[in-house]
Chains A and B, each alone.
Chain A
Amino acid sequence: MAPLSAHPKIWQVLTVIFLAITAAFGLFFYFSNIFLAFIIAFSLIFLAEKFATDYRRSVARYHLSRWKQHVYGYALVAFWIFAVIFLFRSSTLQITGVLQKVSVNEATLVDVYSDKVQPLLPAFFQREAFTEEIVEKVSEYVSSLTSVILSKGTFFLVDALLIVPLMFFMYFRRRHAIATKLFGAVPARFHDSVLRGAREIGAQLHHFFAIRVIENTIVGALCCLGFFIAGVKGWLILGLIAGFLNIVPYFGPIMGAVPPLLITLLVDEPVAALYVILTVLIAQTIDEFYLRPFVVSGKVRIDPLLSIILVLVGSQLFGIMGMIFALPTYLVYKVILQEAYEELVKLYGQK
């Protein structure tokens, strides 16, 4: 590694760039609801692109004529829409069926905990204070989850309904035109470095989100399968929720295991609850010991210790959102500052 430049101008400009990126990320975290819709749109675009690639390969493999390609394409879209609606509807009906039978309040949770969970625990965990604490925490979690879904859900849905179709249109129809326009505003002498930086950031973020989508899909699929085998009512939605919550480092798996555990305990199926715990443990073991070290680390080159520190700092600063976006934020900072530094050294020289 070459020694760093001591030219004051370079460090002044880098400080300005650093502050500008920080301000941009500050806005991002301030308007997190809107940006979350953007992130979901990006994930859906990624999936749509994968589906499109698979469709193009199928079309090429079977040598379909033009009208057959159209019929096959529309049939596939219709199939996926109907499959998603049908599966979600049946899964939701199963869950609402369970919730209608029992009312979820603190008294129900105390009964469920003291009847079905406490006898299985070691003596230390059977203290009364501990029981109250656990029930209070679970009750808080359920009520906060319900209020968050009710208060933010509608707002988020409106955001998503506005932003997702717009993003799809922009990405699939106008991305080259927008990129050319933005690139035209950059001074000619910085064209190369801006292009290199934009490509690098694009590639790094694409790799990061792609690999997280794949990782969470695998964890979600494992949970769906496990919950199905366990006989959990609404296994599809609960498995998908567990996969989705896996994006939250460290706490996500626990948050994802709570709803299926509650459902199984409420319908009086302690064996199914044990299967649920086993499923989540197996899914997390595969994620921690195979997916992350061999699949994620191969694509996103971040030192494991650094990634833990970044996630902890992110959680301290911005809570759950900070934990989720700690690594992509670091990647953006790294690439921009690295490119800017190299360009500034070329401009002002080493001192």
Chain B
Amino acid sequence: MTRNLAILAFNMSADRKTELFRMIVLILLYALIGNARSIQPNPFIPGAVIAVYMVVPVVGGLLFGPLTGLVVGVFGALLNAISPAGSPFEFASVLPHGIMGLTAGFLRGKIPTPFAAAIALAIGHGLNVASYVVTDLLKTKPLDDLAFWYGLGYETLVGTVTVFVMVTFYRLGFLSTPHK
């Protein structure tokens, strides 16, 4: 199987290799940020922290398209789930984060980046909550508390700002400004 994979990788076109390389880098980035020792507390939900790693599939989708967003969301969440920082919540996030990356990819170029990021992150958070409730990781009682939704809104806002900063800097680095 390893031999077949090696042959497959060798016969890939340069574009495919670049795409694969980007996906691997973003998946590793997702897991690395998921295991980060810096903690950003959520001021609205006591004890909760902001899941900064959720921006990675959105950035992947917005910069490189829906397939990259989907793959980074699914495999990044899986890798994060089996990493030291993993928990049942991370396993439940696999599908929501994949859909979030896919959404970001579909919105790419159709609406300005901050709005696309905000929509994708809001969908991701919504699906996360639904997934936790379905898998019985989250009781429905906290959902009645308004602070919970404020907390999710705050997380979406911070995520949107982070995505916008990352996307802008990536574009600036690869944009050529003609010399006058």
Q: Which residues of A contact B (CB under 8 A)?
A: 46-47, 49-51, 53-54, 57-58, 61-62, 72, 79, 83, 202-203, 206-207, 210, 214, 217-218, 221, 225, 228-232, 235, 272, 275
Contacts and interface: CB of A to CB of B under 8 A. Distances in A.
Given A62-B112, A206-B179, A51 B172 contact: yes
A54 B172 contact: yes
Interface in B153-177: 161, 164-165, 168-169, 171-173, 175, 177
A62 B111 contact: yes
A159 to B, nearest CB: 26
Nearest to A218: B173
A229 B112 contact: no
Interface string B23-50: 0000001001101111100000000000
Question: What is the interface residue range for chain B against chain A?
Answer: 20 to 34
Contact of B38 (A57, A72, A232): A232
Given A54-B168, A62-B111, A62-B112, A229 B175 contact: no
A50 B38 contact: no
Contacts of B114: 79
Interface string B41-71: 0000000000000000000000000000000
Given A54-B171, A62-B112, A229 B161 contact: no
Contacts of B32: 225, 229
Given A62-B112, A83-B161, A231 B36 contact: yes
Given A202-B179, A217-B173, A272-B37, A83 B165 contact: yes
B88 interface: no
B126 interface: no
A337 to B, nearest CB: 22
Contacts of B169: 217, 221
**Per DSSP, are chain B's interface residues mostly helix, strand or loop, or mixed?**
helix
Nearest to A62: B112
Contact of A231 (B38, B109, B112, B161): B38
B177 A235 contact: no
A72 B176 CA distance: 22
Contacts, number: 58
Given A54-B171, A225-B29, 12 more contacts: A47-B172, A58-B112, A61-B109, A79-B161, A79-B164, A217-B173, A225-B32, A228-B36, A228-B38, A229-B35, A229-B36, A231-B39
Interface in B85-119: 109, 111-114
A275 B36 CA distance: 11
11 contacts: A50-B177, A51-B172, A54-B168, A54-B172, A57-B175, A203-B179, A207-B179, A221-B169, A225-B32, A230-B37, A230-B38
Contacts of A58: 112-113
| Those 5 A-B pairs whose CB atoms lie nearest each other, nearest first | A231-B37, A229-B36, A50-B172, A206-B179, A231-B38
A258 to B, nearest CB: 20
Nearest to A231: B37
Contact of A229 (B33, B109, B172): B33
A28 B46 CA distance: 56
A298 to B, nearest CB: 12
Contact of B173 (A53, A62, A214): A214
B179 A235 contact: no
B177 to A, nearest CB: 5
Contacts of B111: 62
Contacts of A62: 111-112
A53 B178 CA distance: 10
A327 to B, nearest CB: 18
Contacts of B177: 46, 49-50, 53, 210
Contacts of A203: 179
B70 to A, nearest CB: 23
Contacts of A50: 172, 175, 177
Contact of B175 (A54, A221, A275): A54
Nearest to B37: A231
Contacts of A225: 29, 32-33
Given A230-B37, A231-B37, A72 B179 contact: no
A79 B161 CA distance: 9
Nearest to A271: B37
Contacts of B168: 51, 54
Nearest to B161: A83
Contacts of A272: 37
A229 B38 contact: yes
A58 B164 CA distance: 13
A44 to B, nearest CB: 13
Contacts of A49: 177
Most B C-beta atoms less than 10 A away, residue of A202, A228, A231: A228
B33 to A, nearest CB: 7
A95 to B, nearest CB: 14
Nearest to A203: B179
